[in-house]
């Protein structure tokens, strides 16, 4: 079944590792160009780090997916641990970077939802692979897609919105 056959996913992992690494490099450039402005806004340095961590998590998930000869237990455990570690770090940074309570509730909720969609599917994917039940690597791909999308959204804020 494709959801649990890692060999079927090699090309996707190669592509996502390269794309997310390139995007992480661009985020570093954006942050270095706008560092003075970023440091003036409460929560924005944390948001920059969230962005880098989202992209780094995709790179690591992709590298883990490319390790040859792994059992489903090794792969599931590695993906689950990676997802939990990065998810916890991103959640902690999210708490510190959320807009103030006086801001519209929709801003806070949308930021939480976007970060969750980039981290939670990676955790579910790892657990699903371990259990050999559920969506398996399809969950992981969902996490990859949403992590990249969330990171690109944050990068836009760090490069463009901060200048307005």
pLDDT tens, residue by residue, 104-155: 888 888 889 988 999 999 999 999 999 999 999 999 999 999 999 999 998 9
Select from 21, 38, 25, 22 the least CA-distant residue to 160: 38
- Secondary structure tally for the chain: helices H, strands E: 6, 0
pLDDT of residue 157: 87
Length of the chain: 164
Segments making up each domain of the chain, as ranges: 6-163
Dmax over CA atoms of the chain, in Å, equals 52
Contact 19, 67 (CB under 8 A): no
DSSP 6: G
Mean pLDDT of the chain: 92
pLDDT of residue 140: 96
Predicted TM-score (pTM) of the model is: 0.91
């Amino acid at each position: 079944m494709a959801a649990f056959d890692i060999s079927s996913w090699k090309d996707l992992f190669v592509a996502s590792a390269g794309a997310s690494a390139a995007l992480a490099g661009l985020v570093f450039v954006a942050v270095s160009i706008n560092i003075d402005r970023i440091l003036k806004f409460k929560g924005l340095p944390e948001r920059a780090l969230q962005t880098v961590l989202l992209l780094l998590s995709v790179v690591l998930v992709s590298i883990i997916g490319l390790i040859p000869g792994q059992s489903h237990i090794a792969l599931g455990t590695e993906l689950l641990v990676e997802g939990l570690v990065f998810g916890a770090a991103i959640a902690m940074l999210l708490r510190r970077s959320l807009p103030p309570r006086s801001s519209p509730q929709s801003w806070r909720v949308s930021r939480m939802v976007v970060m969750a969609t980039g981290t939670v599917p990676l955790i579910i994917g790892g657990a699903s692979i371990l259990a050999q039940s559920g969506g398996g690597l399809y969950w992981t791909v969902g996490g990859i897609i949403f992590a990249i999308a969330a990171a690109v959204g944050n990068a836009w804020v760090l490069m463009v919105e901060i200048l307005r």
